[in-house]
Structures are given as structure tokens and as C-alpha cells.
Amino acid sequence: MTVFEDLKWRGLIKDISSPDLEEKLNKGGMSFYIGTDPTADSLHVGHLSSFLISKRLKDAGHHPYLLVGGGTGMIGDPRPTKERAMISKEQVNKNFEGIKKQVEKLFGFDVVNNYDWIKDINTLDFLRDYGKYFNVNYMLDKDIIRRRLDAGITYTEFSYMILQALDFKHLHEYNNVDLQCAGSDQWGNITAGIDLIRKSTGDEVYGFTMPLVTDSQGKKFGKSEGNALWLDKNKTSSYKLYQFFVNVEDCMVIDYLKIYTFLSKEEIEELEKKNNEHPELREAHKRLAKEIITFLHGEEEYNKAVKLAESLFNNKFKDLSKEDIVELFGNQDTKEVKSNVNIIDFITEIGAVKSKREAREFITNGAISINGEKVDSIETLINDDMFIDNTYIVVKRGKKNYYIGQKIN
């Protein structure tokens, strides 16, 4: 397949500005850019699809730039419902440095900051050199603006389109950039940049968008219970990424393999066949998790994530480290506990049962385990050897109820 055919097969192209773009993408040699505002010091899974498209284009002989909006980030692009909270200049700079370091390591892209050229433009120059090319009716017709008119939109947000178009013009003039790629919600801003360059210089440049990645309900993909899944492993562990990807919906996993991996058409079709024949094995899901985690953090981190997942599934914790326990149960409250305590008093104290009578019943019925080992006697004594790394102990009641004790030394 050609580059363009591969992108189309993977479902990665939604809008294109010109039919000529197909030939240019197949030929190679274009300089292009993607952009993101530094609203945090790390990218998250929601960003990953556009960055992987850019890597595909880089591998096909094109030259990528990442524009991190140190200038536009202090304003924020219009959201569908309300204005973004302003971020301080200091925080924007900190976030820029974090993203720059991350992108250079993961993708090897050149990183530019639009603050470097926006900061020197005064109000009169902005209006004379850029504003005169933008008809208000044209701007009002853009989808994101129209959706905000009833609720109200500030001039600050309204002007964001001009600033993004200005970015395209600057990169075209100083870095020979002829192509902008972005999510489909940025189509209006892309075409604004194309129009600005055409009107002010006569040059033809290009743009294309990719569909926003969603789940089967149409919600943006890459969010877990309302929280972003960060590409920084110190913010989101490899284990959490693994759990997220092995549990994606069956009906979406093949689409995600196309978007988030570099597996070939043949490999993905084989996984699709296996997924249809034996969905309970979750081979496609596991391969998705493996490809993403290995790309982001390396094979060692992937193997660690699998080990933790298997420990939880098999209820076996004795061979783990205290760091592993924190990673597995980090969001769960721990209870300070003492050693050399009878099992009945211990599980009552840790909160696994409400009373000593209930404790006896659960133990007698085989419903209590310590670090994965079933407790078979009400005379069991919790001693120092039972604490993982002399620190943590894992109590399980029933099938899914876990209680974490931290030893008082």
C-alpha cells in the first residue's frame, strides 16, 4: 500500500484540503507540523494518535515539527461549552519543557514554541498584518465558534483562530512547512491558516485531519474514569496502561490496533480473525497493550505490567516487592497494622470484616486470604514473615475485596 492508502485503511484521514495531497504524501519530502498547547507537563493517550500519524509520515520521508503553544497556551482554544481556565506563564513554560523532553525522546521530532514569535507582535501589527485577512462572517461560520455563540464567547477565544493561522504562516515562511495535521475538531483552524497563507503570499499549502478517537459511545478515547492516561510513566504506570488497553471494548479493539500500532494489515487481520473466533482469549487486546507500552516505555516495563496483572488475576502477591504493591493498589487506602496478631483480630482491625463473629464465618468458609494464601484456621497468627518487604500485607475477602495493611515498625 502507498502511504496515503495505509492512512486511509487505518481510518486516519477525515478531511483533506486538496486532492493533490495524496500524491504529495506518497512522494515524501514535505515539512509538516502538528500542534498542542502545553496544558500539562506530559502528553496523554488522547494525543497519541496524531503523534503516531506524524511518525508514520516521518518514516515515509517527511519532516515533522511539533509546535507546542507556549503563546496560545496562555489563552486556550475555544472549548465546546465554556472558556478554559487561564494558565500562568510560569506553568506554561514548565509544561513546555516537559512536553519537549518527552517528544524528543519518544518521537525525535523538532520542537518549536509559538511564544517565540507571538510575543513580539504588538496589537497594531496584529490587526494590520493578520486581522485584515479575516472576515468576521467567515470566522462565525466555523463549527467551534457557532457552537459557542449561544453560550457566549470572549474575544480572547475568538482570536485563537487567527493565532493558529499565524503559526502556520510563520512555519511556512521560516521552516518551509507546507502541511498541517490535526484532529477533526481543528479543521476550521487549519483552513484559516491555508487561507491566510494564500491571501498574503499566494502560496498553496495543505492540511488534513484525522477523526477524533472515541469509544463505542462516542466519548473521547484515552480517559479513565475522567482522568487522563498520561504518557509519563510517573503519572500513569505501565500497569495502569496495560489494564486500560486489555479491557477496551471488543468492538473497538481492531480499530485501536490500526490507529495505535505499526502492525501490518496482515497481522491485524489475523488478530481480528482470532478475536472473532475466541474473544475470551483477548489476544487482540493483549497485543494492543504490548505494542503501546513497549513503544512508550520499553519491553521491561511491559513485562512488569504483565507480571502485576497476572499476580492480581491469580491472587498471588508473595513474590512482589513493596513498590509493586503500591503500583497495584496505589489508589486504595492503607491501614497501619501490627504484627504478631491473631487473624480474627487482624482482619477486623484492617476493616475486612465488621465483627469477630463475621471474621470467624469468613475464615471458616474459606473466604479470607493473606497475600494470596487462603487462611484455613482461626488460630492463624500474623507474623513478620507475612509482610511483603517487611512493609505491606494484602488481605482479600471474597472475590474482589482487597485490604492493604502497612506494618507499624
Same domain, 155 and 272: no
pLDDT at 153: 77
Q: Minimal CA–CA distance to 270: which of 252, 289, 257?
A: 257
Same domain, 141 and 277: no
**Quick one: pLDDT band at residue 225, thresholds 50, 70, 90?**
low
pLDDT at 81: 64
Same domain, 310 and 204: no
Question: Which H or E run includes 397?
Answer: strand 392-397
Question: Which carries the bigger pLDDT value, residue 360 or residue 156?
Answer: 360
Q: List CB contacts of 285: < 8 A, sequence separation 6 or more.
A: 245, 246, 247, 248, 253
pLDDT digits (tens, 9 = 90+) for 50-109: 999 999 999 999 999 999 999 888 887 766 666 667 788 899 999 999 999 999 999 999
Task: Map residue 228 onto helix, strand or coil.
Answer: strand
> Does the pLDDT of residue 129 top 60, yes or no?
yes
Same domain, 251 and 350: no
- Give the Cα separation of 241 and 243 in Å (integer): 5
pLDDT digits (tens, 9 = 90+) for 375-386: 999 999 999 999
Same domain, 62 and 146: yes
pLDDT at 319: 87
Q: How does the average pLDDT of the chain come out, rounded?
A: 91
> Does the pLDDT of residue 140 top 90, yes or no?
no
pLDDT at 222: 65
> Does the pLDDT of residue 373 top 60, yes or no?
yes
Q: List CB contacts of 265: < 8 A, sequence separation 6 or more.
A: 1, 6, 9
Q: Is residue 228 part of a domain?
A: no
Please state, for a pLDDT cut of 70, what percent of the chain lies above it: 97
Residue that terminates a domain, selected from 314, 345, 361 = 314
**Quick one: pLDDT band at residue 223, thresholds 50, 70, 90?**
low
Task: Map residue 140 onto helix, strand or coil.
Answer: helix
Same domain, 343 and 303: no
Q: What are the distances in angstroms from CA 339 to CA 60, 108, 269, 327?
A: 61, 51, 54, 23
Cell of 226: 475522567
pLDDT digits (tens, 9 = 90+) for 284-331: 999 999 999 999 999 999 999 999 999 999 888 988 999 999 999 877
> Does the pLDDT of residue 224 top 60, yes or no?
no
Domain region containing 91: 3-210
pLDDT at 286: 97
pLDDT at 87: 84
Cell of 230: 498520561
Using DSSP bridges, classify how beta strands 401-407 and 392-397 pair: parallel, antiparallel or unpaired. Answer: antiparallel
Q: Is residue 382 part of a domain?
A: yes
List the CATH number of the domain containing 13: 3.40.50.620
pLDDT digits (tens, 9 = 90+) for 15-53: 999 999 999 999 999 999 999 999 899 999 989 999 999
The overall pTM is greater than 0.85: yes
Q: Is residue 308 part of a domain?
A: yes
List the CATH number of the domain containing 393: 3.10.290.10
Same domain, 33 and 135: yes
Averaged pLDDT, 172-195: 94
Question: Which carries the bigger pLDDT value, residue 347 or residue 318?
Answer: 347
List the CATH number of the domain containing 306: 1.10.240.10
* 232: amino acid identity, one letter: D
pLDDT at 55: 96
Averaged pLDDT, 211-219: 83
**Quick one: pLDDT band at residue 265, thresholds 50, 70, 90?**
very high
Same domain, 278 and 342: no
Q: What are the distances in angstroms from CA 299 to CA 61, 89, 102, 242, 305?
A: 27, 37, 18, 12, 10
Same domain, 309 and 342: no
Q: Is residue 226 part of a domain?
A: no
Averaged pLDDT, 3-14: 96
Q: Is residue 258 part of a domain?
A: yes
Same domain, 166 and 242: no
Q: Is residue 15 part of a domain?
A: yes
Instruction: State how far Cα 312 lies from the chain centre.
Output: 24
Same domain, 141 and 279: no
Q: Is residue 222 part of a domain?
A: no
Q: How many residues does the chain have?
A: 409
Residue that terminates a domain, selected from 245, 280, 314 = 314
Report the domain count for the chain.
Answer: 3
Q: Is residue 51 part of a domain?
A: yes
Same domain, 148 and 256: no
pLDDT at 11: 95
